[in-house]
Amino acid sequence: AIRCRAAVAWAVGKPLSVEEVEVAPPKAGEVRIKIVATGICRTDDHVLEGCFPNVDFPVIPGHEGAGIVESIGEGVTSVKPGDKVIPLCLPQCGECSFCLNPESNYCLKSHVSESQNLLPDKTSRFTCKGQQIHHFLWVSTFAEYTVIPEYAVAKIDAAAPLDKVCLLGCGFPTGYGAAINTAKVKPGSTCAIFGVGGVGLSVVMGCKAAGASRIIAIDINKDKFAKAKELGATDCISPWDFKKPIQEVLTEMTGHGVDYSFEVIGHADTVTAALASCNMNTGVCVMVGVPASGSVISIDPMLLLSGRTWKGTLLGDWKMRDCIPKLVSSYLEKKFNSDLLITHTLPIAKVNEGFELLRAGK
């Protein structure tokens, strides 16, 4: 076993507590990874607030990391000690009917189908103060060492800077892929992005890469507009500047609504607004943000009957083990600059300060 530090969430609504934890060696089919860097994603905040489904406490959150393989369990063949890797919060077992479908990026071992609070053998590799600690999405990147099933690990280029490509574990591919893969944005089209935090900015980058002619960023925090414009937004608007619903504003700006809209917040009212803001016949609306567990959205069926398409996306529709190494290669070839999404760099001991910055919109 390895003793190391980890940020433990002991209970809902409590700040993280940096503790010494014991990380057991990997069993068959598992990989133990030294986590070098991790992003803080809004989803981790949902865990702390208790509004992310099916999480057991105490738990070590974090799911957007990068690291180096420390040791491997019996039967592991795709990685070896010393390899640089990104843990995958959406596994790819390669055997279920979804993994075998070339059009699907979902895996039946995903947390939506199967609880990932413990490893597949239903035991934990973490203990703290003699108590079992739960895993989060099998990755738990807020620990200096973590144990992950092999099919939730992707080997990446040895040249990749881990403190930068950790964002390719969740936030960047989710937003970028929502535009490229899920919506399949066409050149010359118009797009609206509701919410331009890290994931929303990644949608902006995806829309620009796809050749969209007009990219409208929508946020109540105007401090985010400069970065949105730097990454490709052509217009930036705040709903608070208008007396009418934002969908009406967007329809007036574009004639008949945008070709593609993306909801990257996870609120029922903004999902409805995003759906209503795209073209009533050929518009495509993609849900990217994660609504709180148990929330319900009510819509006027005419919004869909007229021909609109309403879609959701999981991790940007990438088959994670196949695609994340390719995205890292694209990063190294400077095909996109996800470094611009990084605003602060903190030691793990200051993880709670990171969440304060996130909640403050910074």
Mapped to the 3 state alphabet, what secondary structure does the chain carry? CEEEEEEEECCCCCCCEEEEEEECCCCCCEEEEEEEEECCCHHHHHHHHCCCCCCCCCECCCCCEEEEEEEECCCCCCCCCCCEEEECCCCCCCCCCCCCCCCCCCCCCCCCCCCCCCCCCCCCCEEECCEEEECCCCCCCCECEEEEEHHHEEECCCCCCHHHHHHHHCHHHHHHHHHHHHHCCCCCCEEEEECCCHHHHHHHHHHHHCCCCEEEEECCCHHHHHHHHHCCCCEEECHHHCCCCHHHHHHHHHCCCECEEEECCCCHHHHHHHHHHECCCCCEEEECCCCCCCCCCCCCCHHHHCCCEEEECCHHHCCHHHHHHHHHHHHHCCCCCHHHHCCCCCCHHHHHHHHHHHHCCC
pLDDT recorded at residue 112: 85
* Regions of the chain where pLDDT drops below 50: none
pLDDT recorded at residue 291: 85
Quick check: 268 and 249 in contact, CB under 8 A? Answer: no
pLDDT recorded at residue 185: 98
Quick check: 256 and 237 in contact, CB under 8 A? Answer: no
Specify the pTM.
0.96
Q: Exposure of 267 by Cβ count < 10 A (0-12 exposed, 13-18 middle, 19+ buried)?
A: middle
For the chain, list the domains and their CATH numbers: 2-171+317-360 (3.90.180.10), 183-312 (3.40.50.720)
pLDDT recorded at residue 101: 97
pLDDT recorded at residue 293: 77
pLDDT, tens only, 257-273 = 999 999 999 999 999 99
